Amino acid sequence: MNTKIQNIFSGKRQKPIIIAGPCSAETEQQVLSTARGIAEIGSVDIFRAGIWKPRTRPGSFEGIGIEALPWLTEVKKQTYLLTAVEAATTEHIEICLKHPESVDIIWIGARTTANPFSVQALADALQGVDIPVFIKNPLNPDMSLWIGAVERFQKAGIVNIGIIHRGFYPFVKSAFRNIPKWDLPLDMKCRFPNIPLICDPSHIAGKTEYLAEISQIAMNLNFDGLMIETHINPTQALSDAEQQVTPIELKELIEKIVIRQTSSENPDIRSLLEKYREQIDLIDFQLLELLAKRMNIAEAIGKYKTENKITVFQLRRWLNIITTRVEFGKKINLNEKFVKKLLQLVHREAIHLQNKNQNGENSL
């Protein structure tokens, strides 16, 4: 058994599992210079590179395919890194299994996890094979799909399974490309405590500027590792250009992350304060997600009011909101003044959004 793989899936790691590499393998030079840059950092375990790319619409770059396999072989020769590619069809699986000199690990993409027929076909193709599989969460937050995918690969006899949290498709307007919904990966960790849980901040963020913050939250929440898209020349990337960092930026990012002791092995080490802070972090993000949802509905109401020539501000409705919320707030021990202030702030923003809809950008 490969000791590097054993180390990753042993459950005894003190430091995070780091997966890095380009969204897509594009050229031999791009793959090798990225891999060498990543290997120099020293703390990265796995080199990722998509060679078959799931693109939402046809016509964009769909990956290099098998031509990239020798490049990955070269990565393995020139660096200590393990290699991982996404497999979405049984043909992809067969090719990966035929080329152990190029591919060490397979990952299942978010679009595939959403389809139980595909997952079952892939699990069947891997029946009895000893290769590690990382499973990304499905695009939609239907946890049974993610759980089901883990179960299907477990039933096929895959021993080394990891799960990757890459966020969920935002049906509401969001700063992030995919909404983290942090409680869902943590539910998965509770259900599968021995399976490494990796966060993919790149696909959550969609932009490099949020990577550090998301990575730190994942570490605070005791994730076992990170998958960060890294490209030698991100602006020229053929896919996901906006979210990829250079190997040097990756090094800086990794160095800045504060790694705390993992609670699973040292339950007493983390202070109570830290545990409370993790809960607060989680709740803050949930609050923001809910606020975004509320604003979206307010905007939809705004459009309706404009179309039907109804005024934005409706006194009776507003008074009703204040009274019912303050009453409810009191019941759950919230300060009356605080609830009023908070609602005023939220209401003001909703009115602002609706006004923008009625009067264009120059309003209020």
**Does 109 sit near ligand PEP (CB under 6 A)?**
yes
CB nearer to ligand PEP: give 50 or 162: 50
> Measured from the CB of residue 190, what is the shortest distance to Mn ion in angstroms?
28
**Does 49 sit near ligand PEP (CB under 6 A)?**
no
The one-character DSSP state at 332 is: T
Neighbours of 271 (CB within 10 A): 10
Q: How far apart are CA 144 and CA 138, in angstroms?
A: 10
The one-character DSSP state at 352 is: H
CB nearer to Mn ion: give 61 or 80: 61
**Does 181 sit near ligand PEP (CB under 6 A)?**
no
CB nearer to ligand PEP: give 137 or 160: 137
Q: How far apart are CA 231 and CA 241, in angstroms?
A: 9
**Does 50 sit near ligand PEP (CB under 6 A)?**
yes
Tokens read off for 253:
């990012």
Which amino acid type is present at position 55? R
Q: How far is CA 53 from the centre of its chain?
A: 17
Residues binding Mn ion (CB under 5 A): 23, 240
Tokens read off for 360:
């264009």
Interface residue with ligand PEP, options 166, 189, 231, 251 (CB under 6 A): 166
Q: How far is CA 338 from the centre of its chain?
A: 34
Neighbours of 172 (CB within 10 A): 15
> Measured from the CB of residue 50, what is the shortest distance to Mn ion in angstroms?
7
Interface residue with ligand PEP, options 4, 12, 40, 54 (CB under 6 A): 54
**Does 22 sit near ligand PEP (CB under 6 A)?**
no
Query: Given the rule CB under 6 A, which of 10-18, 105-113, 302-310, 348-356 is the region that contacts ligand PEP?
Result: 105-113
Q: How far apart are CA 34 and CA 50, in angstroms?
A: 13
Tokens read off for 364:
């209020």
Contact set for ligand PEP, span 199-238 (CB under 6 A): 203
DSSP of 178-239: SB--THHHHHHHHHSTTS-EEE-HHHHHSSGGGHHHHHHHHHHTT-SEEEEEB-SSGGG-SS
> Measured from the CB of residue 136, what is the shortest distance to ligand PEP in angstroms?
5
CB nearer to ligand PEP: give 110 or 226: 110
* Helical (H) or strand (E) element with 322: helix 315-331
**Does 65 sit near ligand PEP (CB under 6 A)?**
no
> Measured from the CB of residue 110, what is the shortest distance to ligand PEP in angstroms?
4
Q: How far apart are CA 285 and CA 167, in angstroms?
A: 13
Tokens read off for 182:
């942090």
Interface residue with ligand PEP, options 8, 23, 81, 87 (CB under 6 A): 23
CB nearer to ligand PEP: give 23 or 250: 23
Beta bridge partners of 163: 135, 197
CB nearer to ligand PEP: give 109 or 201: 109
CB nearer to ligand PEP: give 189 or 203: 203
Cα torsion 242, 286, 137, 21: sign: positive
> Measured from the CB of residue 54, what is the shortest distance to ligand PEP in angstroms?
6
**Does 110 sit near ligand PEP (CB under 6 A)?**
yes
54 binding partner (options Mn ion, ligand PEP, none; Cβ < 5 to 8 Å by kind): ligand PEP
Residue found under tokens 């906006």: 242
The one-character DSSP state at 139 is: S
44 binding partner (options Mn ion, ligand PEP, none; Cβ < 5 to 8 Å by kind): none
> Measured from the CB of residue 243, what is the shortest distance to Mn ion in angstroms?
7
Nearest Cα neighbor of 229 from 255, 208, 252, 212 is 208
Binding residues with ligand PEP: total (CB under 6 A):
9
Contacts to ligand PEP by CB under 6 A: 23, 50, 54, 109-111, 136, 166, 203
